[in-house]
Chain A
Amino acid sequence: MEANGTSGLLLEEPLIFEKSSPGRTGIGPASSDVPEVPPSEAVPGKFLRKDLDGFPDLSEIDTVRHYTRLSQWNFGVDSGFYPLGSCTMKYNPKINEAACRLPGFSNIHPYEPQELTQGALELMHSLETYLSEITGMAAITLQPSAGAHGELCGLLMMAAYFKSKGRPRTKIIIPDTAHGTNPASSHLAGFKVVPVKSEGRGVLSVEAVAAVMDEDTAGLMLTNPNTLGLFERNIKEIAEVVHSRGGFVYCDGANMNALMGLTRLGELGVDVVQLNLHKTFSTPHGGGGPGSGPVGVGKALEPFLPVPRVKKEGDRYGLVFDRPDTIGRMKSFYGNFSIMVRAYAYIRRMGGEGLKRAAIAAILNANYIKERLKGAYHLAFDEPCMHECVFSDRLQLGSGISTMDVAKRLIDYGYHPPTVYFPLVVPGAIMVEPTETESIETLDKFIEVMKRIAEEAKTNPELLKNAPATTKTARVDETRAAREPVLKWEG
């Protein structure tokens, strides 16, 4: 078998500050036809910086090489398979990039009068409508700038609702299969977290929720499908229990890729959901971002949505600020607009049927990997899964090989490792999410590599212990990096 990973020429590159040569310049700005004003005359003294210490002096070619070399050290979904569980690292179609770079979108300014930004407002309004249709929620805000920010937004609306009723509630129920950000967001919104355990088959039971749901509890925050990749099949009955005691059901929509077009969360009893456009709707992740975490709510929470709201009157669009119950702004201006354009382009290009087929293919791909790798790796829950599946290192521990070693060895073969050591309910978890955008050839090759690594763990464990061997930097000492971090230049 040909491995994807190989070794090649990568060039060393210092920090950009270390490449500086005093007086060297790149492109000079054109000479100005406006008279120059000394900064001290235009800016109050306390805001003036005397020197720009350490700012590097570089030529254009130095700068281009610097960033090109750094980019060659990188690994992204454009370079290879990236099965990072719970992150939906699907391919980001280039048409999204073309759409958001249309001058009519890329050259507008947030302070432009609304008469001149009708197209942008229409796009936001349409995107809200689409996301509303996909989730079954009454209304959507596009403002939050990432998933956890959306969680905070949803939780703040829940808190505001109970405050407006004159009876604030203090607790949130969170199962052990929820995303790690859920308890953090709940704390930030001022709630106390009540943990509940999933039952034997990896999903939440009605009884477990009923036992802790009381009238001091604002609701339940669950992830569906959960972080084991399993559909919370009791969700409707669980929602009935939560609702009967006056609470809300918050669904973390980070795993929406498994559900779009197949079911609508609103019909399952969900009252609040955040979507991660950078997962489900094919906008870039991480450094390629920014993210975007729109939030959908049912009727009861609609008055509390952040302002401004996009409103359509006749064939004109406008922004509405005057909403007495709003929780206020979650972000300056209107959210990460260029990300909205990308998600809009994706939805329009896929169409309703296409989104549904994407979800089905994502589920099929995950089940294919699950079935073909069980046996080589311990499968935590032998159940039909949704968009991701969770293995563990239980079968390898006997040879002294842990999940971390398997993950590092995958790098040698040219793959980004899956999510490891999460969810916490599975010790040594290896969480694989292939997404729908990978072909069967890619999946087969990955499966073959994973099996080969399982063999190597038995026959030549040192290969795994010393991995990665083909990368520019060998295995880093993560413990030392965390205990003695160097956080600044010339630190």
Chain B
Amino acid sequence: MEFPKDLKYTKEHEWVKVEGKIATIGITDYAQDSLGDVVYVELPQEGGSVTKHEPFGVVESVKAVSDLYSPVSGSVAEVNDAIIDSPEAINEDPYGDAWMVKVEISSQSELDDLLTADEYQKFIEEEK
């Protein structure tokens, strides 16, 4: 299982890639592996707003339905519509093709409590 070092992570198993004011968000390799085959994903509208710790979408696998929690607050700049038609990308390439939304971050300080790759890896070891 991979956890790229250049990403930040949440305890809800989302990853965040920060580039300037834009945060790209998806779910981790561990999340997709635990969910199993993803069959459906629901994402917010472009231009909508998301709030840190609040659900911004839903991901459904053959096993379960889970909320997606936003790691940051801000407005939705871009949505990856491609994964709505091919949710299997979430299983195949969680850090690449299966990014979910790009959010224009409203407060940089919200990034402070995100986990590093090492911290996240340690967290999921404890969760098991």
Residues of A within 8 A of B (CB): 180, 420-422, 424, 427, 478-479, 482-483
Contacts and interface: CB of A to CB of B under 8 A. Distances in A.
Contacts of B64: 421-422, 424
A479 B37 contact: yes
A482 B40 contact: yes
B126 to A, nearest CB: 13
Interface in B46-90: 60, 62-66, 87-88
A465 to B, nearest CB: 15
Of A422, A427, A483, the most chain B CB neighbours within 10 A belong to A483
Given A478-B62, A483-B88, 19 more contacts: A180-B65, A420-B63, A421-B63, A421-B64, A422-B64, A424-B64, A424-B66, A427-B34, A478-B37, A479-B37, A479-B39, A479-B62, A482-B37, A482-B39, A482-B40, A482-B60, A482-B62, A483-B39, A483-B87
A479 B90 CA distance: 13
Contacts of B66: 424
22 contacts: A180-B65, A420-B63, A421-B63, A421-B64, A422-B64, A424-B64, A424-B66, A427-B34, A427-B128, A478-B37, A478-B62, A479-B37, A479-B39, A479-B62, A482-B37, A482-B39, A482-B40, A482-B60, A482-B62, A483-B39, A483-B87, A483-B88
Contacts of A427: 34, 128
Contacts of B128: 427
B21 to A, nearest CB: 28
A271 to B, nearest CB: 27
A475 to B, nearest CB: 12
A483 B37 CA distance: 10
Contacts of B39: 479, 482-483
Interface string B16-52: 0000000000000000001001011000000000000
A421 B36 CA distance: 11
A414 B34 CA distance: 29
A421 B60 CA distance: 13
B15 to A, nearest CB: 20
Interface in B88-128: 88, 128
Contacts of A420: 63
A48 to B, nearest CB: 39
B24 to A, nearest CB: 25
Contacts of A478: 37, 62
A263 to B, nearest CB: 31
Nearest to B54: A192
A478 B37 CA distance: 9
Nearest to B55: A193
Contacts of A483: 39, 87-88
A478 B62 CA distance: 7
A482 B37 CA distance: 10
List of 3 A-B pairs having minimum Cβ-Cβ separation, nearest first? A482-B39, A479-B37, A421-B63
A421 B66 CA distance: 12
B105 to A, nearest CB: 23
Contacts of A482: 37, 39-40, 60, 62
Contacts of A422: 64
A212 to B, nearest CB: 13
B60 to A, nearest CB: 8
A478 B88 CA distance: 13
Contacts of B65: 180
Contacts of B40: 482
Nearest to B39: A482
A121 B62 CA distance: 44
A479 B62 CA distance: 6
A210 to B, nearest CB: 20
Contacts of B87: 483
Contacts of B60: 482
A427 B36 CA distance: 11
B5 to A, nearest CB: 26
Nearest to A483: B39
A421 B63 CA distance: 6
B56 to A, nearest CB: 14
Of B62, B87, B128, the most chain A CB neighbours within 10 A belong to B62
Nearest to B88: A483
Contacts of A424: 64, 66
A361 to B, nearest CB: 32
Nearest to A421: B63
A424 B12 CA distance: 13
A182 to B, nearest CB: 13
A427 B128 CA distance: 8
Nearest to B34: A427
B82 to A, nearest CB: 15
A335 B37 CA distance: 39
Nearest to A402: B36
A479 B38 CA distance: 8
